[in-house]
Chain A
Amino acid sequence: MTVLQRSSRVALWNPRKLFSPRTIVLIVVLAAWFVVGPSLLGAYWTRILTVSTVFAIAAAGIALLYGRLGLVSLGQVSLIGVGGWITLRVGHLGLPFELALVVAAVGTGIIGVLVGLPALRLSGLNLAIVTLMLAGAFEVVFTVTGFPNGGDGFLGRAQGGVLQQPLARPVLGTSDPEYFRYVLVVAVLMFLVIGLHLSNRPGRAWAAIRQSEAGALAAGIGTVRYRLWALAVVSATTGVAGGLLAGNAGLLDPISFKASASILLFATVLIGGAFSLLGAAIAGFLSQGLPPLLDAWGVPGNLIFVLLGLGMIQAITTAPQGIAGQLKGLVLRIGRAITSRRTR
């Protein structure tokens, strides 16, 4: 413990940090996006970017697991489904949407930990396979149970088109632009939760576990505890993403939660960049925004698979930092060019 506390990477709380140029730029960009985003995008793209933002939250979870802990989880879309299911189920009881989101976060967190508990000892290929198998199992379960649509019973299924009713949107986000802003705010909150974890003690513990589990144990890090905590945080945020997805349309379809969707989302995270939250945001757009964008450009939508496949191989072989890493490199290089000219 003392070793860790003395290390130079301890993030001492410093109010000056809040006003670093980077943070200010980020806040300004997000605020501008919040205000003019919907009118800039138009109705169609507002809807698409709402879903992209939702998936960015899930992508951030995958990125945390992969980038920080070195764990490949190929079942995250199933967790989105779990969060969506809980939100719909609780929402139809008459709870306000925000409360349903909290319940979804807690519920998905618990389920994620329970499912992950036996898988804790696994790492590497075994964990990837187990999560893929679980995604397959969840796919079957979702197909059988369906998603609640206002019916009776535990499953909350109403048969027949007339009896089905979508979940009402939150009061603060009834129209599409409002819901876009609503999702943006929640997504920023979730990114903050993940970012705070990464920059503080848990993040360092996770990094140590990734480097060497034995080393982490020797440094006095409770590996089991921290891995469980990572699973809980990732599952909870992913559950919130599921809740937001459920709130968007009010209904969910089992067809969106196949094991293949998880693989695609993982591919986009690798391409976007697994080592930063910017990468997660890019991944969210790649997974949900790129297909309609290709469509708009007249490229057949199915070629998205080819693009993602090529991008994934490229990311693995030559650009492990993903698009986000390359953008950062570009910004650094430009910054260096400007400063060097100034000194001359």
Chain B
Amino acid sequence: MILPFIVAGLVLGSLYALSGVGMLVLYRTTGVLNFGYGALGAIAAMLAWQFVELRMQPVLAYALGILVATALSLLFGFLAGPFLATVTTLTKATATLGLALILLGVMLFAWNDKARTLRLATDTMGFTIGTRITVTQIICLVLATVIVVGTSIYLRRSSTGTAMRALASDRELAAMLGIRVRRVELIAWTVSGTLAGFSGILLSSQTRLEPVFLTFIVIPVLAAVVVGRFRSLVGTLAGGLVIGVVQAIASAFPATSPFSNATPFLVATIVILYLQRRKVVTIEVAR
């Protein structure tokens, strides 16, 4: 009875986590918490839908969508990066709100906010173990796990990963040690944009294909990142999965189902407040 809900929850949670990893890679490298992340995914999904409607090969359409999201992310990183490096984390995040609004406006201008469906070829394939599981859902789960593990190893082992971590801890110092700061940052923007495109397309097939909805899905995704304490990729995966499953189980019961959408916010608020319980005074000078 509850099994289909758990499966759906795991899938949604893994997508939260997949998106969260993209945000986290960027945040850990450049310190930018990208509120425009959802909008990047949304534009990938909308373009993919549009190209499929125009009778393009589906795989090509998805690839184009992801490519555009990547290019946009890279472009924003290229244009705004030097400025963003000089301001506080809060200002960086606020600036990306601007990016989100611009992309959202363009999408609403090009496509209205009507409900559409993006049908992936893998949606119809599937098998039954107690409940029906589609190949798309398997892809979501596997992709999220692979990306989380892969990115963790990449950050730890590869030279670029080491450079990214160095950048995160001190940008000036990293530059002084001969790390090509701009290049590493742009790599982070690119990776983040690609992940945004991937997760946007998968999210739109599992939830709804609406620009506004997909743009502001960044809020529950942020909840998963918060559970990962803005640091841990594995924590983000765990957070995403827990949030997804709790949300799905809550939606299974009539008493809690209207409030199920509030799960990510509740979890994130509790986690933030718990993490901050000891910090009374921060000593820093306003810039």
What is the interface of chain A, defined by CB distance below 8 A to chain B? 70, 72, 118-119, 121-126, 128-130, 132-134, 136-137, 140-141, 143-144, 210-214, 217, 223, 258-260, 263-264, 266-267, 270, 300, 302-313, 316-317
Residue of A nearest to B267 (CB): A133
Partner-binding segment picked from B46-54, B147-155, B258-266:
B258-266
Chain A nearest CB, measured from B287 CB (Å): 10
Tell me the residues in window 88-126 of chain B with beta carbons closer than 8 Å to chain A beta carbons. Answer: 88-91, 93-95, 97-106, 108-109
Task: Find B94's partner among A129, A260, A312 (CB 8 Å cutoff).
Answer: A312
A sample of 8 cross-chain residue pairs with beta-carbon separation below 8 angstroms, ordered by A number, consists of A125-B93, A126-B276, A141-B262, A214-B281, A303-B105, A312-B101, A313-B95, A313-B99
Distance of A311 Cα from B89 Cα, bound (Å):
20
Residue of A nearest to B111 (CB): A302
What does the 1/0 interface line of B245-287 toward A look like (CB < 8 Å)? Answer: 0000000000000110110111011001100110111111110
Measured between beta carbons, the chain A residues less than 8 angstroms from B88 are 124
Known contacts being A121-B280, A126-B272, A140-B261, is A316 close to B102, with CB within 8 Å? no
Partner-binding segment picked from B61-69, B158-166, B219-227:
B219-227
Distance of A133 Cα from B102 Cα, bound (Å):
22
Distance of A126 Cα from B83 Cα, bound (Å):
22
Task: Find A310's partner among B80, B94, B98, B266 (CB 8 Å cutoff).
Answer: B98
Known contacts being A70-B286, A211-B285, is A260 close to B272, with CB within 8 Å? no
Structural contact, B109 and A302, CB atoms closer than 8 A: yes
Distance of A220 Cα from B67 Cα, bound (Å):
56
Structural contact, A304 and B105, CB atoms closer than 8 A: yes
Task: Find A317's partner among B83, B102, B226, B269 (CB 8 Å cutoff).
Answer: B83
Give the bracket for the number of chain B residues in contact with chain A.
Answer: 35 or more
Distance of A232 Cα from B129 Cα, bound (Å):
54
Residue of B nearest to A126 (CB): B272
Structural contact, B100 and A132, CB atoms closer than 8 A: no
Measured between beta carbons, the chain A residues less than 8 angstroms from B87 are 316
Measured between beta carbons, the chain B residues less than 8 angstroms from A308 are 98, 101, 105
Distance of A102 Cα from B212 Cα, bound (Å):
35
B78 within 8 A of A: no
B40 within 8 A of A: no
Structural contact, A129 and B101, CB atoms closer than 8 A: no
Structural contact, B102 and A309, CB atoms closer than 8 A: yes
10 smallest A-B Cβ distances: which pairs?
Answer: A305-B105, A309-B101, A309-B102, A306-B105, A302-B108, A312-B98, A313-B98, A133-B265, A140-B262, A137-B265
Measured between beta carbons, the chain A residues less than 8 angstroms from B144 are none
Task: Find B109's partner among A124, A213, A303 (CB 8 Å cutoff).
Answer: A303
Task: Find B95's partner among A70, A137, A304, A317 (CB 8 Å cutoff).
Answer: A317
Apart from A122-B272, A140-B265, A211-B285: 8 A-B pairs, beta carbons within 8 A = A123-B282, A126-B276, A128-B94, A136-B219, A137-B262, A300-B109, A302-B109, A311-B98
Distance of A126 Cα from B87 Cα, bound (Å):
16
Structural contact, A306 and B106, CB atoms closer than 8 A: yes
Structural contact, A125 and B105, CB atoms closer than 8 A: no
Measured between beta carbons, the chain A residues less than 8 angstroms from B261 are 140
Structural contact, B90 and A306, CB atoms closer than 8 A: no
Residue of A nearest to B275 (CB): A126
Structural contact, B95 and A133, CB atoms closer than 8 A: no
Measured between beta carbons, the chain A residues less than 8 angstroms from B222 are 129, 132-133
Chain B CB within 10 Å — which of A125, A133, A217 has the most? A133
Residue of A nearest to B80 (CB): A313
Chain A nearest CB, measured from B74 CB (Å): 17
Measured between beta carbons, the chain B residues less than 8 angstroms from A317 are 83, 95
Structural contact, A133 and B91, CB atoms closer than 8 A: no
Residue of B nearest to A301 (CB): B108
B33 within 8 A of A: yes
Distance of A144 Cα from B88 Cα, bound (Å):
37
Measured between beta carbons, the chain B residues less than 8 angstroms from A129 are 222, 226, 268, 272
Chain B nearest CB, measured from A68 CB (Å): 11
Residue of A nearest to B230 (CB): A125
Distance of A2 Cα from B138 Cα, bound (Å):
67
Chain A nearest CB, measured from B136 CB (Å): 26
Known contacts being A137-B265, A137-B266, is A130 close to B97, with CB within 8 Å? no
Task: Find A212's partner among B102, B219, B265, B283 (CB 8 Å cutoff).
Answer: B283
Measured between beta carbons, the chain B residues less than 8 angstroms from A300 are 109
Measured between beta carbons, the chain A residues less than 8 angstroms from B100 are 263, 309
Measured between beta carbons, the chain A residues less than 8 angstroms from B102 are 305-306, 309-310, 313
Residue of A nearest to B91 (CB): A316
Distance of A305 Cα from B97 Cα, bound (Å):
11
Known contacts being A305-B104, A309-B98, A309-B102, is A133 close to B269, with CB within 8 Å? yes
Structural contact, B273 and A213, CB atoms closer than 8 A: no
Structural contact, B98 and A130, CB atoms closer than 8 A: no
Measured between beta carbons, the chain A residues less than 8 angstroms from B33 are 125
Known contacts being A144-B259, A212-B285, is A316 close to B95, with CB within 8 Å? yes
Measured between beta carbons, the chain A residues less than 8 angstroms from B90 are 72, 124-125, 128
Structural contact, B264 and A136, CB atoms closer than 8 A: yes
Chain B nearest CB, measured from A89 CB (Å): 19
Chain A nearest CB, measured from B218 CB (Å): 9
Measured between beta carbons, the chain B residues less than 8 angstroms from A310 are 98, 102
Residue of B nearest to A72 (CB): B90
Structural contact, B95 and A124, CB atoms closer than 8 A: no
Distance of A309 Cα from B35 Cα, bound (Å):
12
Measured between beta carbons, the chain A residues less than 8 angstroms from B264 are 133, 136
Chain A nearest CB, measured from B115 CB (Å): 15
Measured between beta carbons, the chain A residues less than 8 angstroms from B265 are 133-134, 136-137, 140
Measured between beta carbons, the chain A residues less than 8 angstroms from B269 are 130, 133-134, 137
Residue of B nearest to A311 (CB): B98
